[in-house]
Amino acid sequence: MADIATNRQANYRYQLLDRWEAGLVLTGTEVKSLRGGKAQLKDGYASIQNGEVWLHNVHIPPYGPATRDNHEPERPRKLLMHRREIERLIGKTKEKGLTLVPTRLYFKGPRAKVEIALARGKDVGDKRQAIKERELKREMERSFRR
């Protein structure tokens, strides 16, 4: 299961609380473009509307060989999840400050999957603390090598 795209900014911007795997409803040109390994999750988010989960602002570029039958790059895409999982998500996203963020996009067999995470936004102080911890960890690894 090689990743097509990962959202590396998600760990920096948000505190990730819980993760789910969901299927994607895609058109043929979107699948071909994803097989080329080109997608961006950076500004993506998921929302729940009328009991369905939708993925927004995920950029899948147009497929080159397809001419007029190409897809819109940032259209909303429906996510496929079990009813119980959607109901659990509805309950958890009602809490203030929680959102759904896509963290990875990958193929599992012939099907495209997206991993979404329940996330709480970090404050500026939290981001500074994460940078400080990362620097300390790097420094410890350097000293062990010496």
Question: How high is the pLDDT of residue 3?
Answer: 84
What residue numbers bound the domain in which 33 lies? 3-145
Per-residue pLDDT tens digits for 26-40: 988 888 888 888 888
Whether the pLDDT of residue 1 is over 80: the answer is: no
Domain tally for the chain? 1
pTM of the model as a whole: 0.79
Give just the sign of the alpha carbon dihedral 43, 102, 55, 1: positive
Find the CATH number of the domain harbouring 54: 2.40.280.10
Whether the pLDDT of residue 90 is over 80: the answer is: yes
Helix, strand or coil, per DSSP, at residue 140:
helix
Whether the pLDDT of residue 142 is over 70: the answer is: yes
